[in-house]
Each structure stands twice: as C-alpha cells, then as structure tokens.
Amino acid sequence: AGLDLSPILHVPPLAAGAARHQVRGQDHGLDRALDQTLIAEAAPALERGERVELAHDIRNVNRTVGTMLGSMVTRRYGADGLPPGTIDITFRGSGGQSFGAFLPPGVTLRVIGDTNDYTGKGLSGGVVAVRPDERAPFVAEQNVIAGNVIAYGATGGELYLRGVVGERFCVRNSGATAVAEGVGDHALEYMTGGAAVILGPTGRNLAAGMSGGYAYVLDLDTSLVNGELVDVEPLSDEDAARVQAIVEAHVAYTDSAVGRALLADWPAAVHRFSAIVPRDFRRALEATRRAAAAGEDVDAAVMAAARS
C-alpha cells in the first residue's frame, strides 16, 4: 500500500508514427551466414558420416562460425555427434566473436590467424585450434591470438591456442581441455571440471571460485593465485602424464614453439609446472579412489567427503 507504482505504470507519449509494440521483423542475416556454406559443403558428413575436409577465408564479421553447422550434427546424430575429425575445416583470417561456440563431437575447426572474444564458448566435444599465419613476423607466445572469455561454460572438447589470450580464460569450464600460452586476469574463474594448461604468464586473481577440474601453469607466480578454494602443488606422476599428453596434442595442432621446446627436454620441463588443486575436488577424488579400492559405494563416499 505504501508503494508508488506510477513511474513503472506511466505511459509516455509517442512520437508521430511510432508504435508501442513490434511492427516489423528483424533480419539477423542467417541466410547469408558462412555456416550456410559450411553446411552445404559438409553434406557428405551430415548425411552419410563421410569425412570432409574444407578450407575457407574468414573475417571478424563472421560470428559464431561453426555453431549452425554443429547444430546440424547434433540434430542428426545426437549428443554423441560424429567420430573425431569427421568434419575438418581450416580457416585463414580473423574469426569473429564466439568462434566455434557449442561445437559438438566430430567437428574440428582450425584458424590460421586469430579469433575474437568467446572462442569455444560452450564447447561441447569438438576441437578448435588457433595459430598465427606462417608468415607472421612476431613471436607467437608473446602476442595475443584470441580475445576474452575463452571456453566460457565449455562442457567438453579440446581448445588449443598458440599465443596469449585475454581475461577470464576457462570461466565456468566444466569438461573441456584448453591450452593457451599466456592469459589475462581472472583465468579459471568458477571452473568446475575439465583441464586447463597455461604455457605462459598469468594475470591476477587466478582460480577465483575454482571448485573442480585440473589446472597446470608453467613457471607460476603464486602471488597471482586466489587461494580461497585452491592449493598450489607440484605435479604428481598422474599430473605429469596428463600435462605431457596435452602439450603433445597442442604441438600437433598448432606447431607451438613453446610446446616443442618443453617436449625436447620433458624431464626437466615437467618440474617447471605447478598444479592448481581445488580442495573439495581433491577430497572427492581421494574418496572415490578409496571407495573403489574397497569395493564401496563411490557416490556415497563422495557425498560423505563433501559434508566433511
């Protein structure tokens, strides 16, 4: 009874010829999107599961490239998608925002050039790899290759970036494997799963709110880590094997100079990595191992660990 709702309910006067509701449709340009071409050219894969390799130029006006193509894969083959690499597309140029967003299994997108913000957003099983043009005169690991908020909310798949990326790398990642050669502030924020490997310097507030997943950083500056939920530890043998496999894949997809140098003397290089370990995640893993070894209910053991 004491609220004055008149500012909310007020009906402002209309200008001549204006309307209070939608009177014309919007043209989002989907009929002209690059994905329409990709879908047509990938027909053998979409219709018969045959392997397709394509090549295209790309500009930063081409946004969410691969998303419509990925939706066709999911509609026809479900969440399992296609076998790895069934659709393999190489682009040259600059990928626009949300390149490879929600990409499902079976689709590999490569960019020789760079990409913008939200690359790999919601990645759900596909592979995205970005590397500089072979003719680029700069040192890849000292320059930006992709924008901010890379792999936001990713649930699966792989992302390999030969170069530095912006802020909020792998925020809310819950299942993808992602590699970058340097990141800005707030990387790994709210990460709950998956694996992230950072082969270069980081910004501040690293791993804020991180509650799960695996994260490994080369030559880590521990003063930049937000330690509220995580600890920094040396790599275990299991960690070392996981990081080596990820770095090998990174080199295979991007020909990373950093990765090649590390692998050339891996016994020495592995000691330069630190693991960022969420405490609750570690307790859950330990409870899982103990329960499995004892033949006990794993779910019950994890729940008990969560309450402790």
DSSP states of 152-187 = TT--EEEEEESSB--SSTTTT-EEEEEEES---TTT
264: confidence class by pLDDT, cuts 50, 70, 90: very high
Asked if pLDDT for residue 83 goes beyond 80, the answer is: yes
Residue 194 CB contacts under 8 Å (≥ 6 apart), including other chains: 154, 156, 170, 173, 174, 175, 176, 177, 178, 213, 214
Asked if pLDDT for residue 155 goes beyond 80, the answer is: yes
Instruction: Report the candidate in 146, 147, 111, 107 with the shortest Cα–Cα distance to residue 124.
Output: 107
Mean confidence (pLDDT) of the chain: 96
8 A C-beta contact, residue 128 and residue 105: no
> How would you classify residue 295: left for phi > 0, otherwise alpha for psi between -120 and 50, otherwise beta?
left
Q: Compute CA distances 142 → 139, 176, 270, whole Å.
A: 6, 24, 21
**H helix runs in 32-88, sequence order:** 34-41, 43-48, 67-77
pLDDT tens digits, one per residue of 180-200: 999 999 999 999 999 999 999
Instruction: Report the candidate in 124, 182, 174, 116 with the shortest Cα–Cα distance to residue 150.
Output: 116
Asked if pLDDT for residue 7 goes beyond 80, the answer is: yes
Give the DSSP H or E segment for 195: strand 192-198
- Give the highest mean pLDDT range of 7-16, 18-27, 68-77: 68-77
Instruction: Report the candidate in 84, 105, 81, 99 with the shortest Cα–Cα distance to residue 35.
Output: 99
Asked if pLDDT for residue 35 goes beyond 90, the answer is: yes
Residue reference for tokens 């630190």: 274
Residue type, 222: T
Q: Compute CA distances 250 → 146, 222, 239, 245, 259, whole Å.
A: 15, 24, 16, 9, 7
Residue 217 three-state SS: strand
Asked if pLDDT for residue 56 goes beyond 90, the answer is: yes
Its pTM surpasses 0.75: yes
Asked if pLDDT for residue 215 goes beyond 80, the answer is: yes
Rounded distance, CA 259 to CA 251, Å? Answer: 6
Rounded distance, CA 213 to CA 190, Å? Answer: 10
Output the six-digit token pair for 143: 């320059």
**Helix (DSSP H) and strand (DSSP E) numbers for the chain:** 9, 10
Output the six-digit token pair for 189: 């924020």
Instruction: Report the candidate in 84, 166, 78 with the shortest Cα–Cα distance to residue 127.
Output: 84
